[in-house]
A and B are shown apart, each in its own frame.
Chain A
Amino acid sequence: MSVQVVLPGVLADLAGGSKHLDVEPPGPTLADLLDELASRHPLLGRRIRDETGQVRRFVNVYVDGDDVRFGEGLATTVRDGAEVQVLPSVAGG
């Protein structure tokens, strides 16, 4: 099973400069995918989730175009071939 993770430029530097990563998660959920991503790129993992494992408040994660915050969250099933996009939310000032 392979999933493509799409990162914003500001996070790509933490993954060797690539905005597109092919990740093979050990399990079927978004949490499994993010765990695998964090094991490969710890700093990247810490930017996306806090130490409790929750996605940071102003980070949005989309699985095949759907915001997981309005769905199953970290329990969202990620299918083989899915695209998982990480984006900063509208925030700041």
Chain B
Amino acid sequence: MTDLLAIGTRKGLWLARSDDDRRTWTVDGPHLLAQEVAAVCVDTRGDRPRVLAGIQYGHWGPTVMWSDDLGATWNETDEGAIRFPEGTGDALARVWQLRPDSADRPDVVWAGCEPHSLWRSTDGGRSFELVRGLHDHPHRKTWEPGGGGGAVHTVVPDPASDRVTIAMSTGGVYVSEDGGDNWEPRNRGITVTFGPDPLPEYGQCVHKVAVDAGGPQRMYAQNHFGVFRTDDGGGSWNSIAEGLPADFGFPIVSSPTTPGAAWVIPLVADMQRVPPGGRLRVHRTRDAGESWTEFGAGLPDNAWTAVMRDAMCADDRDPTGIYFGTRDGCVYASADEGETFTLVADHLPDVLSVRAVRLP
């Protein structure tokens, strides 16, 4: 069996493979050289694994490309997979998130994009349709761009219902219970430090949201200052940052199989955005944020870098594998729930997105 780690960077895509139960990795690439890959996913629901990449082709614009042969050849539609409809006045700036839906919806893929927009594909990612319910939401005109741009960067479809949860910088968390037709903000308790109201209805800069393995009502959020948990589907959020050396960061990852397990990589902020003291460390909770444990075996000191919001992921193995890449082009993998890491690759361009799957 092969474990595959897709690594999207500012200048291309690399694919790392492990055939020895995640102990050693062989890195293949670059693919899509000179193209920014801010979003990547590997869809294993079909006959063959499909790698989908949200690319920004230098001067020539963004789109979604796909490969059904693990990067040997790449495809894109002539028209562009994601195009704002005429009359919207908008143009796609960047694909921030590509998320296959559940096995019960085999051709459905979601995309979160800049400017703030959500898209749904029913043909495996070849083409996407704008989710009008979000685009026409009256709040939309007041969502402001964060430092990286105004985008839907997190899409979490619930496999057991029509609920879809998204997160935006800025905008915060929004939830639809009907597959995308209607949306409401669910940010109560998530704080804002960059506006006069510390607890607005919406407008938060939520960096990432992850759903607990125990069920969709429990979610975790890494905020622009603050780490939070909800136990009621976003109805209210409470801080779980106590015990962390810093409450700023970009990614938060949950285990797909172990309830209560989640990981963050704290950064000192606001201006520095580097690991505390330059020590690159992963913090894990096994009790849904009630306590955190720091792990650093295999990780460097004097690492004045950062980890972007989609540059960290978990696999669905047991024990859960944890993977992340840094802005200085290093990629680390752990096969023991983040307790020890091995270096998969270094000297790559800035790592923007990683996704790990076991190939069928």
B89 and A56: CB pair below 8 A?
Answer: no
- Most interface-central of B57, B61, B89 (chain A CB within 10 A): B61
**The residue from A42, A54, A89, A92 contacting B91, defined by CB atoms under 8 A apart:** A54
Q: Is B156 an interface residue (CB 8 A)?
A: no
Given contacts A43-B78, A46-B79, A51-B83, whether A92 and B92 have CB atoms under 8 Å apart is no
How far is A48 from B57 in the complex, measured between Cα atoms in Å?
Answer: 11
B90: chain A residues within 8 A (beta carbon): 52
Give the bracket for the number of chain B residues in contact with chain A.
10 to 19
Query: What is the predominant secondary structure among interface residues of chain B facing chain A?
Result: loop
Q: Which residue of A has the minimal Cβ distance to B79?
A: A42
B61 and A46: CB pair below 8 A?
Answer: yes
Q: Which residues of B contact A (CB under 8 A)?
A: 57-61, 63, 76, 78-80, 83-84, 86, 89-92
How far is A58 from B56 in the complex, measured between Cα atoms in Å?
Answer: 12
A47 and B57: CB pair below 8 A?
Answer: yes
Given contacts A50-B91, A54-B91, whether A89 and B59 have CB atoms under 8 Å apart is yes
Given contacts A50-B91, A51-B84, A51-B91, whether A56 and B79 have CB atoms under 8 Å apart is no
Chain A: interface residue total (CB-CB under 8 A): 18
Q: Which residues of A contact B (CB under 8 A)?
A: 10-11, 42-43, 46-48, 50-52, 54, 56, 58-59, 88-89, 91-92
**The residue from A10, A48, A50 contacting B92, defined by CB atoms under 8 A apart:** A50
Q: Which residue of A has the minimal Cβ distance to B84?
A: A51
B76: chain A residues within 8 A (beta carbon): 43
